[in-house]
Amino acid sequence: MDLRYSDSDERFRAELRAWLEDALPSLPPKPGQDNWPARRAWDTRWQQMLFEAGYAGIDWPSEVEGRGATPTEHLIFLEETERAGAPYVGVNFVGLLHAGPTLIAEGTPEQKQRHLPRILRGEEVWCQGFSEPGAGSDLAALSTKAVRDGDHYVVTGQKIWTSFAHVADHCELLVRTDPDAPKHKGITWLIMPMDAKGIEIQPLRTITGSTEFSQMFLDEVRIPVENRVGEENDGWRVAMVTFSFERGTAFVGELIRTMSLVEHVAGLAQRIPRGDGKAWDDPGLRRDLGRIAAELDALWALTRRNVTQAERGTGVPGLGGSVFKLAYSEVRARLGDLTMKLLDRAALGMEDVGGIESGIHVERWFQSMSLTIAAGTSQIQRNIVGERILGLPKEPAV
């Protein structure tokens, strides 16, 4: 085992770092949370810059205009962009991390040709239409139905937690095409153009006050059969392919951000007065923070192990990700709780209060709560770890 990067990895890092130093100052200020047209423009502009510099689709194969980098280079890319404070994928999230990789693995040559380069250039934004009010953790319980009518599917139903629906050009949509088949067998994966007739979008305001998610109502939306990815009724398998991309390096940026957040909280504690001294004088607080920092260090090591295994093609893809996600979301939540306690009454606003930089921490505390829910709740992750890694018997099927 070793933790050193190779010389070629370090060269890649140096080039990237130099480019970032050059490129970042030319970015205009980031638009406000809920100014969606401006956010789309800002996020896709960054994507365009990455594309022009040869850093778009860092882990995508070169045949589809990606960079074809190794998992280690991908890790370095995430590390350097995060450390430099570069924008993260933003509204390009679904296209770059979900739909694109799914098309690479399962799309037809026409679908690849049509969408992949546009996703990489920031010309096409995607949203995710998987979840439904009655099908969250039990995703296969979805009921949005698609009926074949000549060379179209006619789709009717409701989707929820549709990230970025109001700025997207396309949606990765799961529909039920065979209501009589066992629930995992009758599902199909479709590309839905968001300008099709019959789509109604209602923004969903979250706990932080932002409107990243929507509910989407579909009323006889006509989708050409050529937009189907994979075979009819084989969508569950395709969706599992989509999910396997979500794990592995998906949380690297998050992790690095949280590691610097710990330092920031330590800094705050050294400034916030308590009694005759500072909050930092409390050994309980210091130890809690020290423990959190130790766990994040270990998760950084776990990331490196997962990346090594990805590079070698060993291990079961995605499973290291479940261990990571469980541990990370838990430590992140503890850091949030500790910070709220530290901020005390300065936490009573969503912006900085009383000269204490509390706004960002309050927002991140709320965000930390989504980690144990999004992309598979911690309870579902524990089932995955218990059944697929430890080999414990499945729950009886219902």
Partner 1 sequence: MNFDLGDDERALQQGMRDVCKRLFPMDRVRALEDAGGIDRTLWHELGQAGVFSLRQPESEGGVGLGMTEAALVYEELGRALVPGPVISTHLSVPLIEGALDGQRVVGLIDRERTPPVVGQLPALDTLVVIDPKGLWLVDPQHLGAIPVRQPLDPLTPMYLLEHLPKGDKIAGPKEVARWRREGAVLAAAMLVGIASACTEAAVAYAKERKQFGRPIGSFQAVKHICADMLVREEVARVGTYAAAVMCDDPGAGDVDRAVAGARLLAGDAALANGKASIQVHGGMGYTWEVDAHLYLKRAVLMSTRFGKSDDLAEAVAGTLAP
Q: How far is the CB of 226 from partner 1 (least distance, A)?
A: 42
Binding partner 1 (rule: CB under 8 A), the pick from 148, 291, 341, 345 is: 291
Coil, helix or strand for 33? coil
Give CA angle at 369 (342, 129), nearest 5°: 155
Binding partner 1 (rule: CB under 8 A), the pick from 286, 366, 369, 373 is: 286
User: Residues 231-270: x/- map of binding to partner 1 (CB under 8 A)?
Assistant: -------------------------------xx--xx--x
Q: How far is the CB of 337 from partner 1 (least distance, A)?
A: 17
| Nearest Cα residue to 331 out of 381, 270, 258 | 258
Cα 121 from chain centroid (whole Å)? 19
Its sign, for the CA torsion 87, 88, 93, 96, is positive
Binding partner 1 (rule: CB under 8 A), the pick from 6, 35, 62, 113 is: 6
Under the binding rule (CB under 8 A), the answer on residue 398 touching partner 1 is: no
| Nearest Cα residue to 50 out of 123, 121, 114, 112 | 121
Q: How far is the CB of 241 from partner 1 (least distance, A)?
A: 24
Q: How far is the CB of 97 from partner 1 (least distance, A)?
A: 23
Tokens describing residue 218: 């579909």
| Nearest Cα residue to 371 out of 341, 344, 338, 336 | 336
Q: Which stretch binds partner 1 (CB under 8 A): 41-49, 179-187, 282-290, 357-365?
A: 282-290
Under the binding rule (CB under 8 A), the answer on residue 137 touching partner 1 is: no
**Residue 42 in contact with residue 30, Cβ under 8 Å?**
yes
Window 316-345: residues binding partner 1 (CB under 8 A):
323, 326-327
Binding partner 1 (rule: CB under 8 A), the pick from 111, 206, 210, 309 is: 309
User: Residues 364-383: x/- map of binding to partner 1 (CB under 8 A)?
Assistant: ---------------x-xxx
Under the binding rule (CB under 8 A), the answer on residue 314 touching partner 1 is: yes
**Residue 94 in contact with residue 172, Cβ under 8 Å?**
yes
| Nearest Cα residue to 173 out of 138, 213, 128 | 128
Under the binding rule (CB under 8 A), the answer on residue 397 touching partner 1 is: no
Residues 375-396, buried b or exposed e (16+ Cβ, 10 A)? Answer: bbebebbebbbeeeeeeeeeee
Binding partner 1 (rule: CB under 8 A), the pick from 133, 134, 182, 290 is: 290
Binding partner 1 (rule: CB under 8 A), the pick from 23, 302, 356, 369 is: 302
Catalytic residue among 80, 246, 254, 295: 246
User: Residues 39-78: x/- map of binding to partner 1 (CB under 8 A)?
Assistant: ---------------------------------x------
Q: Pick between residue 241 and residue 360 the one whose CB is nearest to partner 1.
A: 360
Residue 219 has φ and ψ, to the nearest 5°, of: -125, 100
Q: Which residue has the tokens 């109604």?
A: 200
Active site residue 63: no
Give CA angle at 250 (81, 190), nearest 5°: 120
Tokens describing residue 35: 């100014």
Q: Where are the beta strands (DSSP E) in 136-288?
A: 145-149, 152-159, 170-176, 187-193, 199-204, 213-224, 228-229, 273-274, 277-278
Among all residues, which ones are annotated catalytic? 246
Residues contributing to the site for partner 1 (CB under 8 A): 1-6, 9, 72, 262-263, 266-267, 270, 280, 283, 286-291, 293-295, 297-302, 304-305, 307-309, 312, 314-315, 323, 326-327, 379, 381-383, 385-387, 389-396
